[in-house]
Amino acid sequence: MKRLVVTADDFGLSLQINEAVEQAHRDGILTAASLMVSAPAADDAVARARRLPSLRIGLHLVMVEAWPTLPPERIPDLVTPDGLIRSDMERLGLDLALKASVRRQLSAEIEAQFQAFRAIGLPLDHVNAHKHFHVHPIIAGLVLAAGRRHGMRAIRVPRETRAVLRAAEPGANPKPALDTAPWAALLAVRARHAGLLIPDRTLGLAWSGAMTPARVQGLLAHLPDGLTELYTHPATGSGFPGEAPGYAYVAERDALVAPESLAAAARFVRGGFSDFLA
């Protein structure tokens, strides 16, 4: 059976993203969204989610390059002078390995984000992380531990099948995620051991920020059996704080509401991760 979860990341980052998420769920193929609980437009995102009971909402953990949930003075090793979480992922990853204080602070921040999501009162459909930082082995352990305390039942494992990409766009030679592949494989093992639902594949890695209508429709036309997560970054416009340079936000929104995408997705069983739990 071909099962499909279509996710929008960065829900709550801006009104433009929130508007696109609502449009893409009401009028398109979007089935889930991943919420940044402390981003500037998080309250608006939650209000929209409450109006859309069929939209499954997960937690988009922020551990790099965005707004923390805890006050900066509680996590001094994680934030920059402007109060945002550091953007130097490589150095932060090394600090986690070398410094117990950094691990304690990040553990507290992850716990605070889970608690903030619980306070919203929405069911927790899934968990993933900004820039897939949860594949880092130390961070994965912290997320899995916090998830056990907060009812996490599904987690994204960012592994992409290149054959599907090449079939979707003949002649394409998408760059494999070789830097994260070993850690994603390890995360898959740990998640299964924890009894969590994970997708068989996650589409959107190589073309992150460039999931155009043609690409989305091509991927849907060549979807393998099993559970696939197709994740996107839709928005109704650009120019908001925290946007990723070069991302085709509006094109990704268009891909989710195009009639051709709706027709292609109609062939699959669709929902959030919680809809596919045994």
pLDDT digits (tens, 9 = 90+) for 98-116: 999 999 999 999 999 999 9
Q: What is the pLDDT of residue 148?
A: 97
In a 3-state reduction of DSSP, which class is residue 31? coil
Q: How confident is the model at residue 173 (pLDDT cuts 50, 70, 90)?
A: confident
pLDDT tier, 174 (very low <50, low <70, confident <90, very high otherwise) = confident
What's residue 7's pLDDT? 98
Confidence band for 84, pLDDT divided at 50, 70 and 90: very high
Q: Kindly report the three-state secondary structure assignment for every residue of 40-69.
A: CCHHHHHHHHHHCCCCEEEEEECCCCCCCC
Q: Please give the share of the chain, as a percent, with pLDDT higher than 90.
A: 94
Residue with tokens 């130390």: 138
User: Which amino acid makes up residue 269?
Assistant: V
Report the domain count for the chain.
1
Cα–Cα distance for residue pair 13/42, rounded to 1 Å: 7
Q: Whole-number mean pLDDT of the chain?
A: 96
What does the pLDDT read at residue 180? 77
- Percent of the chain at pLDDT above 70? 99
Q: How far apart are the C-alpha atoms of 138 and 134, rounded to whole Å?
A: 8
Q: Average pLDDT, stretch 247-264?
A: 98
Note down the domain range covering 242. 2-276
Inform me whether the pLDDT recorded for 75 exceeds 60: yes
Say how far residue 64 (Cα) sits from the centre of its chain: 13
Domain CATH number, residue 95: 3.20.20.370
Please compute the mean of the pLDDT values over residues 202-212 and round it to a whole number.
Answer: 95
Residue with tokens 């990409």: 165
| pLDDT reported for residue 178 | 57
pLDDT at 8: 98
Q: What is the mean pLDDT of the segment spanning 150-159?
A: 97
What pLDDT is attached to residue 40?
Answer: 97
Cα gap 126→184, rounded to integer Å: 16
Whether the Cβ atoms of residue 230 and residue 256 lie closer than 8 Å to each other: no
Length of the chain: 278
Q: Worst-scoring range by mean pLDDT, 29-33, 73-77, 167-171?
A: 167-171
Which amino acid makes up residue 101?
S
Mean predicted confidence (pLDDT) in 214-226: 97
Whole-number pLDDT of residue 26:
98
